[in-house]
Structure 1
Amino acid sequence: MSESHFTHSQDQLKQLARDVLQYARQAGGSDAAVEISEGSGLSVSVRKGKIETIEQNKDKGIGVTVFVGKKRGNASTSDFSTASLKATVEAAYNIARFTAEDDCAGLADEDMLEKNPQDLQLFYPWPISTEEAVELARRAEQAAFDVDPRISNSEGSGVHVQQSHFVSANSRGFIGGYPYSRHTLSATPIAGKGAHMQRDDWYSSVRDPKKMASPEAIGRYAAERALARLHARQMATRTCPVLFEAPLAAGLLGAFVQATSGGALYRKSSFLLDSLGKSIFPSHVHVVEDPHVIGAIGSAPFDEEGVRTARRDVVKDGVLQGYFLSTYSARKLGMKTTGNAGGSHNLSLTSSLTRPEDDFAGMLKKMGTGLLVTELMGQGTNYVTGDYSRGASGFWVENGVIQYPVEEITIAGNMKEMFQQIAGVGTDVLVRGTKQTGSILIEKMVVAGN
């Protein structure tokens, strides 16, 4: 795995980390942790064939945490010189000295740390020039325009390339790091004219550029989505089944993670308080976390605190098996960290009811008559009560067949009830960040229209 893309090698970052830990000991810290990162990237965007932006970034940084007993201080710098590192450590130490004690503060227990991290192959550099990136973006946008004359405008198409590496270490013997990459190609066409315009988008985001969808496929599909939304209608208020398209279904999975995360739980700001061991989904629903999928966006051999990660059943037969905890939140709850400092890893939601025929068309048939949601607006989720209300647009479906697009509606329910009313999960599986699921069918929700 080449390190020639970076100014510093992994060995050099590790030596800097060891130096920082030594400075922390010399300053009087009882414990310390450090993370050092370096990366570079390229972003280009075009609109109607013309270059809108070209941005190149090159950054580096060191974050230091020093503990004085149960007191904690943080400081950071982008200067890797010895004088700067010592000054940063000193600043973190002085902050810790004057901070209130916190019984839950401190590094992860040594037996939880990953001492032999495996290589999950997360680094796929993309040696693409600015000219080549611009050409890819143009091809995606032009493919959208070529679909239909009604594609009248564009919010642009873009390419984003990022490659970075890091090392984290602490005074309990953990040191580890690796290079990683993430590359994205997107298109956002506009269909129609005047007061009857609709926009939609599509993108492909991968670690390995060889696995990226072609610019023509992205532009074409984005255009088809925008065209399908033309002549959208309003609809009367009703209660009906709702099918969340796979990209939005991943958002439901994200809401589940938020509600079962340590921070929300110890602050008692979650509608899933005290749910461990209880049925929160129907018995056919399962949620698995697998941090060790080779090359996946959500993979990591250890979390942000150096705690080893492991595959686990988060929900089995509808029953919640575990939370998402960092060392701090676990201690606040009187529990053990789950290796989720920094978030979830490769989370997939599946249903034992899913059959091969339950693709997107199959899920429409399963719903029968109801609402297909393809876009959500606003942040209408109350994580304390579970109340859910979002602006939406999509399509009205009758007898499993899309009838017409709808807009200016609101869908409402309660997350606790929505989770319990999952009637099916499609085979139209899509990965969005660290979440993976097919479309999700909810038995009933309130759809507020005119």
Structure 2
Amino acid sequence: MNSSVESGFSYSQPALRSLVEQVLADAKRQGATSCDVDVSEGVGQNVSVRLGEVETIEYNRDKGVGITVYLGQRKGHASTSDFSAEALSQTVSAALAIARYTAEDDAAGLADPVRLATVFPDLDLFHPWSLPVEEAIELARRCESAARDVDSRISNSEGATVSSHIGQSVYGNSHGFIGPSVSSRHSISASIIAQEGEAMQRDYWYSVARAAADLEDAVVIGRKAGERAIARLGARRIKTGEYRVLYDPTLASGLIGHMVSAASGGSLYRKASFLLDSLGKPVFSPIVQIVEDPFLARGMASSSFDAEGVACVRRELVTDGVLNGWFLGSYSARKLGMSTTGNAGGSHNLLVRPTAGGLDDMLRQLGTGLFVTELLGQGVNGITGDYSRGAAGFWVENGKIVHPVEEITIAGNLKQIFQDIVAIGSDIDLRGSKRVGSILVERMTIAGA
């Protein structure tokens, strides 16, 4: 990208690169053994409408520099939003002052130079949306109006929102690595309230994508939000017992997220993970296959390098249920006596292979049990794997939804839940970094009436 004006940014990529090089040179001059720096800029617009009236119009234009310096094995970090030469030099000085008072840490330091990325493929992540605020307002109104028109029992609205954001950054370190990054993220959402008698239910729908052309139509989003809220009216509890449970795709991604958290370096070296000593062992049911693909075009977690500049790699993360790798950055890898996996900053796109058809097929496979569409609370113990969440959804009999369900708790242990996965749907949610369809679990405890 050579023109900041055309892209909507205030700075060009060469200008950001120059700032990175300036900081690295200054850190060396001030005595740092090594240094890394990340310079970033973000521009965004957010418009919300409620009951047809404009509720908020927000613009944001942010920039910042994060500087980490090392004095041997001592580390200091400081940041600033001032790009002036004087402010950058003072920020380097502040980071060095912190490092001087920090205890030595054998695991501290930059990534191994041989692991740094040298190739930067175009992953098609940058699609600015030229959206005047008047058009954004009209889009939000259309979305909310479609939701309110679904049924006369739609009694209220929490509004519809249209957001657009672009961001760019340049990361560099004193090994000579300089890596650019530029991306966009756009979304449309609606949240709706339905009422029948004294009973009220709320639900929502949203679409998010790198390119506005990939977003669902605003009317479709609104209609789905309204239909989901109406479907929840008449919800009741079910009897306590053990049942089959089908996770909606949006919630199934959360199950995969629990695995990521437990398989990440920080949890592992602190011995705060239920997956300790699970590498190379069957963590999931044999039907589960997961690929990590950092190079997915327009992916929400795509990148050619991680937060330390380490080259990302595509890998078979889970094969026939067996966990083949951790998620490590350089620090956690050193603590564990291992090598970085290129996951400083988190996991990349996780693609879970389906074993069945769409939602109708998954409901048939569920037979009789609970279809969960909402989870409440944070009842997950990352150390033991114990899992207990408030839930809402639908009771299913003979593969057909019978009635909505609320005020229940579903519980189990993630070790067993993972092993009890019996089917994965092809109704894949493409909106996040974990691309997975609905997940059917053979048995969980449900506390209800």
Q: What TM bracket, shorter-length normalisation?
A: over 0.9
Question: 1:84, 1:292 → 2: CA distance?
Answer: 36
* Residue matched to 2:324: 321
**Aligned pairs for 1:76-91 within 5 A:** 76-91=79-94
Name the amino acid aligned to 1:313: E
**Aligned pairs for 1:184-333 within 5 A:** 184-193=187-196, 195-333=198-336
- Alpha-carbon distance, 1:9 to partner: 0.4
Deviations 1:333-384 (A, max 9, x none): 0111111111111101224xx24xx210100100110000000000010000
Please state if 1:394 is matched with 2:397: no
**Contact 1:115–1:175 (Cα < 8 Å) also in 2:** no
Question: 1:324, 1:68 → 2: CA distance?
Answer: 27
Question: 2:233, 2:410 → 1: CA distance?
Answer: 21
**Contact 1:249–1:439 (Cα < 8 Å) also in 2:** yes
**Aligned pairs for 1:427-442 within 5 A:** 427-442=426-441
Residues 186-195 or 275-284, more deviating: 186-195
Question: 1:412, 1:109 → 2: CA distance?
Answer: 43
* Residue matched to 1:370: 369
- 1:126 match: secondary structure: coil
* Residue matched to 2:337: 334
Question: 2:95, 2:29 → 1: CA distance?
Answer: 13
Deviations 1:226-252 (A, max 9, x none): 111001011110101000000000110
Name the amino acid aligned to 1:6: F
- Alpha-carbon distance, 1:187 to partner: 0.6
Please state if 1:183 is matched with 2:182: no
Question: 2:181, 2:381 → 1: CA distance?
Answer: 37
1:137 pairs with 140, 155, 178, which one? 140
Deviations 1:134-174 (A, max 9, x none): 11111000001111111111111001110010000000011
TM-score under structure 2 normalisation?
0.98
Question: 1:195, 1:385 → 2: CA distance?
Answer: 41
Deviations 1:384-405 (A, max 9, x none): 0000000000000001010000
- Alpha-carbon distance, 1:115 to partner: 2.1
**Contact 1:250–1:432 (Cα < 8 Å) also in 2:** no
- Alpha-carbon distance, 1:193 to partner: 4.5
- 2:149 match: secondary structure: helix
Please state if 1:383 is matched with 2:386: no
User: Identity rate of aligned residues, in percent?
Assistant: 56
Question: 1:116, 1:173 → 2: CA distance?
Answer: 14
Question: 1:220, 1:131 → 2: CA distance?
Answer: 22
Q: What's the Cα RMSD here?
A: 0.9
Name the amino acid aligned to 2:445: V
Question: 2:246, 2:285 → 1: CA distance?
Answer: 16
Question: 1:256, 1:350 → 2: CA distance?
Answer: 16
- Alpha-carbon distance, 1:120 to partner: 1.1
Distance 1:311 1:118, change over 3 A: same
**Contact 2:209–2:431 (Cα < 8 Å) also in 1:** no
* Residue matched to 2:63: 60
**Aligned pairs for 1:121-132 within 5 A:** 121-132=124-135
- Alpha-carbon distance, 1:282 to partner: 1.4
Residue ranges of structure 1 left out of the alignment (5+ in a row) = none
Deviations 1:424-446 (A, max 9, x none): 00010112421110000000000
Name the amino acid aligned to 1:422: I
Q: Which runs of 4+ in 1 moved over 3 A?
A: none
TM-score under structure 1 normalisation?
0.98
**Aligned pairs for 1:92-111 within 5 A:** 92-111=95-114
